[in-house]
Amino acid sequence: TSEIIETDAVVIGAGPCGLFAVFELGLLDIKAHVVDILDRPGGQCAELYPEKPIYDVPALPIVTGQELTQRLMEQIKPFSPKFHFSEQINTLSREADGRFRLTTDAGTEFLTKVVIIAAGGGSFTPKRPPLAGIEDYEGKSVFYSVRKIEQMRGKDVVIVGGGDSALDWTLNLAPVARSLTLVHRRDEFRAAPHSVEKMRKLVEEASIRLLIGQVAALEGANGELSAVQVKTANGVESVPCTAMLPFFGLTMKLGPVADWGLNLHENLIHVDTERFETSEKGIFAIGDINWYPGKLKLILSGFHEAALMAQAAHRVVYPDKKLMFQYTTSSSSLQKKLGVK
C-alpha cells in the first residue's frame, strides 16, 4: 500500500506493555496504531508461554499469558486502536515538521506525533533450518508463515517440525494441497494432543504422509523448489515439494530498532524514569526493551512505565493543553471515554 496513515501515536509491539500503553494514551485522548511482526497480540506472553500461569500481575493471583492478553485487549477496546499484524517497523525518521515517519516491511507508512517503542526482546524471527542455499527459496517456495491458505492450493507441500505451528498447518493445508508430507525428526510431537490425533488419522487414511527424518537438501532452480531430500532411517528419499514450510520456532533479535540512532545500553534503549523518553524527544520506550538504573523486566514495571510515558506524550501531542490528574473512579470525563457512562 502507498497510503500514508496520519496519527497521534504509533506503538511498536503488541506485547502486554504496548497494549496497556494504548489504554493510558487513550485516557489522554491520544489515538494509537499498533504494529507487530506476530500475527496476533500478546508478544512473549502469546508466543513463548500462552498456557503458563503468571503469578505476579497485581490483583490477578493467577493468569495465563493468553488470558492476560485477552483481558488487555478487552480493556483497550473503548479506544479502538488499529492493529497492523504480521508487519515489522523497519525505518523511523523525523520529518521537517517534527513528526516521525515510520515504514513497515509490508509498505505501510505512518506519520505520527509520538512513537512508543514497546518492542520487548526485539523482533520475533523464525529460526532458519541449516540448509545450503535456502535463502534463494525464501518467500518464493520456502515460507515461515502462511498469509493465505489459497496460496498453497495445488502445491506439493512439505511441512517440517513437530510443534503446534507445524501440526496446525498440516491440518489446515491438507485439504488444499496436492500432496502434503509432514517431516519430523522423531515420532513424538510437542503439540496439542488432539491435533496430533487428527494428524495421525489423516496419515492412516493416506490423505497425508508422515516421514520421520530430517530434510538434508533442497532441489530446484530460480527460487522454485521441485523436491526436498529427506534423510530417514532407511536412507535418503526425494520427496516432491513445491512449497516447504519449516516451523523451527522463533527467536528474538533486536532487529531494526538498532538502526534508529537512539542511545542504547547493552542493546536496550536508554530512557529516563520520569517520562520514559529516549535520547530523541517524542520517541518513548517502555517494557522489556528499555533500560534505566534498577530496571526489572517485569510486566508490572512496563504498566507503570506506560502511565508515566502517556503523561509525557500528552505534552508533545497537545503542547497547548494543560493536563489535569484524574481518577477513573471519579472522573466522569474519563468514564465517558471508557464508555461506562
Task: List interacting residues with ligand FAD (CB under 6 A).
Answer: 12-18, 35-38, 43-45, 48-49, 54, 56, 88-89, 118-124, 255-257, 287-288, 297-300, 302
Question: How many CB atoms are located within 10 Å of the residue 235 CB?
Answer: 8
Order of strands across the sheet with 224-232? 235-240, 224-232, 209-221, 179-184, 156-160, 243-246
- Residues belonging to the binding site for FAD are 17, 36, 44, 49, 89, 124, 288, 329
Helices 164-173 and 193-204, axial angle in degrees (round to 10): 40
Strand-pair partners of 240: 227
Of all residues in the shown chain, the one whose CB is closest to ligand FAD is: 120
For the chain, the 3-state helix, strand and coil shares in percent, each to the nearest 5, are 30, 30, 40
| Residue 267 in grid coordinates | 542493546
Nearer to ligand FAD, 190 or 336 (CB): 190
CA dist list (Å): 334 to 8, 23, 29, 302, 324: 19, 11, 10, 22, 11
Min dist CB 241 to ligand FAD, Å, is 29
Shortest gap between Cβ of 6 and ligand FAD (angstroms)? 19
CB nearer to ligand FAD: pick between 18 and 161: 18
- For ligand FAD, give the closer residue by CB, 118 or 183: 118
Residue 141 burial (C-beta neighbours within 10 Å; 0-12, 13-18, 19+): buried
160-192 in b/e form (b: 16+ CB < 10 A) is bbbbbbbbbbbbebbeebebbbbbbeeeebebe
Would you say 129 or 255 has its CB closer to ligand FAD?
Answer: 255
Max CA pair span of the chain: 75
The burial class, CB within 10 Å (0-12 / 13-18 / 19+), for 307 is: middle
- Binding-site sequence positions: 17, 36, 44, 49, 89, 124, 288, 329
- Minimum Å distance from CB 57 to ligand FAD? 7
Q: Name which of 105 and 224 has its Cβ closer to ligand FAD.
A: 105
Q: How far is the CB of 295 from ligand FAD (least distance, A)?
A: 11
41 or 213: CB nearest ligand FAD: 41
Task: CB nearer to ligand FAD: give 210 or 298.
Answer: 298
The three three-digit cell numbers of residue 330, written as one number: 471519579
**Residue given cell 492412516 in the structure block:** 204
